[in-house]
């Protein structure tokens, strides 16, 4: 709900369930950020657009908190916009022009440069129920000469002025994604970013900010993200005036865009949100937002998937995949995915990427016999592809060496023996769409795992349209979105999973196109607890794929019992990655039972409210709870890494139950009130290393 109050100059209040966000126009015609935080009574509670402290030396304009900080005048903070006009002028003075309200929850504020024909539209959409504002920017060249864009962020978020700020974010590496970092901010900039062409394992485009006092359950938390899968940047700048702004959007590093007369440049969305009840509530709002507004097929349960990558690696063939499929179906798997190795001369990671035709030695009659077999077993069929990549040892590379990012005459650095295709080129987009469209038209495929196993280097675009070489970063990402878009229009029943050597491309931009993400190539069930905890900070559980794989784990040789492995993976959307041919009858039967149990409770896990009760970062004991929307069912996982000194797992005090209702624990005669489960807690008996319990509570 957006309220417009027009006294002397207009004020816009974005009113949400538990928070408000307000913008005004100052005497100089600049759009000033007025307020973001807990709900106000009305606009009389707001400061005026000109209420700013006057500082020595820089006058009050130096303290400007503009909604988009254009680089011009006395603005020395991180700019949201930096451009160069054709005559060399590099100064931008944006003045309020008008506003539009296309819908009840949408607002567009139109700004124009004081002298030049550049129109800037700040576009807001309010997700009131989850206290989230979506923001993006559109720049329109109304003149007759080119304008060069050098920095165009999606949003500048201003926090209330407080003596202390603390930032939490997700860093990582291959096999160790989404690790939670929390650190106090000091004057200066804290930048998290990717310059790698895609989101990256190293940093995730997401942040939490608080005033140094909040925790999982209590305190104010501001959060945000960039819905974008290319090189991105989030910069928190704390000024020496104690203010804090966070810019979020496309990375300006090596970025340049030629905006020709009549053209519009549209940024990706950045979201900003507010929680008055700690990190936990901030995550739950993000989860609900994604399930309601971003994730495709959010109302459908994710099927239990089987994938043989860890079991067979590149060595796939028709008979072996059929045998695995038979066993997977008996376990209760619902989707069978064939991973890498089925195409071209792909026998290792040395060759074949780019040649997306079935290898006829491995599959003499094409894919159809395997697909028919999988379907006759009652499962859907999915397949692995890595469309953006090419091995030098491939027919595609041999016929189109110019399709690879490179600087002519210089080395093309390989990573995992592969190069990145120049998806900024429209002919490459056409080629990739054509290949995938044909594959999906000729075969009954329901699911594609879209992988991306290396980052950009030598980002050269030989023969690029004049003056547009550095647009490749953005054009590549837009190219990927457009291929996904076209494929989904042509094949509406095919679901996509995003993977990038594990969780290297997890973001809200990609989430619009994919039903789930491959969380990490690290499938060790203990390492996974931290990776999954970090994931859950920003992203919903339904989209978090977790496989049960063999013991010892290939990553670290750690052996955990089957029960612990299942419990760790049942905390997300469940998959199986074990070599089913090597399992004993007993292990197969136990696995079947876990899968059956998972199916009974998966709606609560995939769609419920998540409570991180005991963090794996704090001790060897981890506990996570899920509560169904109507509070009738709750699922609790408790996992112990190692037991020491016979110390018991402390009573787990549950959250989110109906205090006045009675709940019973499945498989026992325990029956107590929700209030008692939340205040007294439940005691689990975990007495050895790698032990775990799954407790299901139901309202009686």
Q: By the criterion CB under 6 A, which residues form the site for ligand GLA?
A: 309, 339-340, 384, 451, 453, 499, 501-502, 518, 521
Number of H helices, E strands in the chain: 12, 36
Q: How many CB atoms lie within 10 A of CB 232?
A: 33
Phi/psi-derived region of residue 84, left when phi > 0, alpha when psi is between -120 and 50, beta in every other case:
beta
Minimum CB separation from ligand GLA for residue 273, in Å? 30
Locus of tokens 């054709």: 86
Active site residue 146: no
- Distance of closest approach, residue 174 Cβ to ligand GLA, in angstroms: 8
CB distance 72 to 64 below 8 Å: no
Contact 184, 164 (CB under 8 A): yes
**Residue 603, both tokens:** 């709606």
Residue 231 or 522: the one with the smaller Cβ distance to ligand GLA is: 522
Write down the least CB distance from residue 556 to ligand GLA, Å: 16
The smaller minimum CB distance to ligand GLA, of residues 549 and 628, is found at 549
Question: Looking at the DSSP assignment, which residues form a beta bridge with residue 39?
Answer: none
* Residue 215 is among the residues annotated as catalytic for this protein: no
Distance between CA atoms of 178 and 169, rounded to whole angstroms? 8
**What does 427-489 look like in DSSP terms, one character per residue?**
HHHHHHHHHHHHHHHHS---EEEE-------S---TTPSTT-GGGHHHHHHHHHHHHHHHHHH
Q: Cβ distance 353 to 341 under 8 Å?
A: no
Please tell me which residue in 210, 340, 451, 621 is annotated as part of the active site: 451
Residue among 340 and 633 whose Cβ is closer to ligand GLA: 340
Is 523 or 540 the residue whose CB approaches ligand GLA more closely?
A: 523
CB of 413 to ligand GLA, least distance (A): 19
Instruction: Work out how close the CB of 548 gets to ligand GLA at its nearest, in angstroms, rounded to a whole number.
Output: 14
Which position's Cβ is nearest ligand GLA? 340
Q: Are strands 621-627 and 633-640 parallel, antiparallel or unpaired?
A: antiparallel
- Contact yes or no for 500/448 (Cβ under 8 A): no
Nearer to ligand GLA, 332 or 501 (CB): 501
Q: What is the DSSP string of 531-551?
A: HHHHHHHHS-STTEEEEE--S
Closest to 571 (Cα-Cα) out of 545, 593, 538, 550: 545
Smaller CB separation from ligand GLA, 257 or 518: 518
- Whether the CB-CB separation of 293 and 188 falls below 8 Å is answered with no
Rounded Cα distance, 128 and 144, in Å: 40
Q: Out of 521, 524, 527, 621, which one is annotated catalytic?
A: 521
Query: Strand ranges (DSSP E) for 251-314?
Result: 257-259, 264-266, 270-275, 305-307
**Nearest CB to ligand GLA, comparing residues 124 and 306:** 306
DSSP label at residue 303: P
List, by residue number, the catalytic residues: 451, 521
């Amino acid at each position: 709900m957006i309220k417009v109050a027009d006294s002397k100059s207009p004020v816009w209040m974005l009113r949400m369930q538990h928070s408000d966000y307000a913008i005004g126009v100052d005497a100089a015609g600049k759009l000033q950020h007025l307020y973001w935080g807990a709900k106000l009574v009305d606009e009389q509670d707001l400061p005026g657009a000109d209420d700013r402290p006057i500082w020595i030396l820089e006058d009050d304009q130096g303290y400007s908190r503009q909604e988009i900080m254009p680089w011009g005048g006395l603005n020395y903070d991180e700019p949201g916009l930096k451009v160069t006009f054709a005559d060399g002028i590099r100064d931008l003075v944006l003045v309020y022009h008008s506003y539009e309200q296309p819908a009840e929850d949408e607002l567009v504020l139109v700004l124009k440069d004081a002298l030049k024909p550049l129109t800037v539209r700040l576009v807001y959409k309010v997700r009131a129920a989850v206290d989230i504002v979506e923001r993006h920017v559109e720049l329109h060249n109304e003149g007759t000469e080119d304008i060069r864009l050098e920095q165009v962020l999606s949003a500048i978020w201003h926090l209330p002025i407080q003596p202390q700020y603390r930032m939490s974010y997700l860093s990582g590496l291959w096999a160790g994604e989404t690790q939670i970092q929390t650190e106090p901010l000091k004057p200066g900039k804290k930048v998290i970013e990717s310059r790698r062409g895609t989101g990256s394992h190293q940093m995730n485009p997401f942040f939490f900010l608080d005033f140094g006092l909040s925790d999982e359950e209590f305190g104010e938390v501001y959060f945000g993200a960039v819905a974008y899968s290319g090189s991105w940047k989030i910069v928190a700048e704390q000024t020496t005036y104690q203010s804090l702004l966070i810019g979020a959007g496309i990375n300006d590093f090596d970025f340049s865009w030629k905006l020709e007369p009549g053209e519009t440049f549209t940024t990706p969305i950045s979201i900003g949100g507010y929680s008055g009840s700690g990190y936990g509530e901030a995550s739950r709002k993000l989860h609900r937002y994604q399930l309601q507004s971003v994730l495709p097929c959010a109302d459908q349960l994710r099927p239990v998937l089987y994938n043989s990558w860890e079991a067979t690696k590149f060595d796939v063939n028709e008979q072996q995949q059929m045998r695995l499929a038979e066993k997977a179906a008996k376990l209760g798997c619902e989707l069978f995915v064939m991973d890498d190795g089925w195409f071209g001369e792909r026998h290792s990671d040395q060759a074949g990427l780019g040649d997306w035709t079935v290898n006829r030695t491995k599959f003499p009659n094409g894919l159809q016999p395997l697909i028919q077999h999988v379907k006759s077993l009652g499962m859907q069929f999915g397949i692995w592809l890595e469309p953006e990549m090419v091995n030098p040892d491939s027919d595609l590379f041999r016929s189109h060496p110019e399709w690879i990012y490179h600087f002519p005459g210089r080395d093309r650095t390989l990573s995992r023996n592969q190069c990145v295709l120049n998806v900024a080129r429209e002919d490459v987009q056409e080629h990739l769409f054509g290949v995938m469209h044909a594959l999906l038209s000729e075969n009954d495929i329901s699911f594609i795992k879209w992988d991306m196993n290396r980052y950009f280097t030598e980002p050269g675009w030989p023969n690029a349209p004049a003056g547009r070489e550095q647009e490749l970063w953005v054009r590549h990402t837009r190219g990927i979105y457009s291929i996904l878009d076209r494929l989904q229009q042509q094949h509406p029943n095919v679901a996509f999973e995003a993977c990038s050597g594990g969780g290297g491309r997890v973001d809200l931009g990609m989430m619009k196109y994919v039903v789930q993400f491959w969380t990490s190539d690290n499938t060790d069930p203990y390492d996974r607890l931290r990776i999954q905890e970090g994931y859950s900070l920003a992203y919903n559980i339904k989209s978090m794929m977790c496989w049960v794989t063999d013991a010892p784990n290939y990553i670290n040789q750690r052996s955990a019992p089957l029960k612990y492995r299942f419990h760790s993976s049942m905390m997300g959307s469940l998959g199986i990655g074990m070599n089913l041919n090597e399992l004993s009858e007993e292990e197969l039967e136990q696995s079947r039972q876990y899968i059956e149990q998972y199916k009974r409770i998966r709606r609560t896990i995939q769609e419920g409210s998540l409570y991180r009760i005991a963090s794996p970062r704090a001790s060897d004991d981890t506990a996570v709870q899920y509560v169904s929307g109507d509070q009738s069912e709750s699922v609790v996982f408790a996992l112990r890494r190692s037991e020491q000194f016979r110390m018991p797992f402390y009573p787990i005090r549950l959250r989110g139950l109906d205090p006045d209702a009675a709940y019973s624990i499945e498989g026992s005669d325990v029956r107590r009130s929700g209030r008692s489960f939340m205040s007294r807690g439940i005691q689990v008996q975990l007495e050895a290393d790698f032990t775990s319990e799954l407790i299901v509570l139901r309202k009686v």
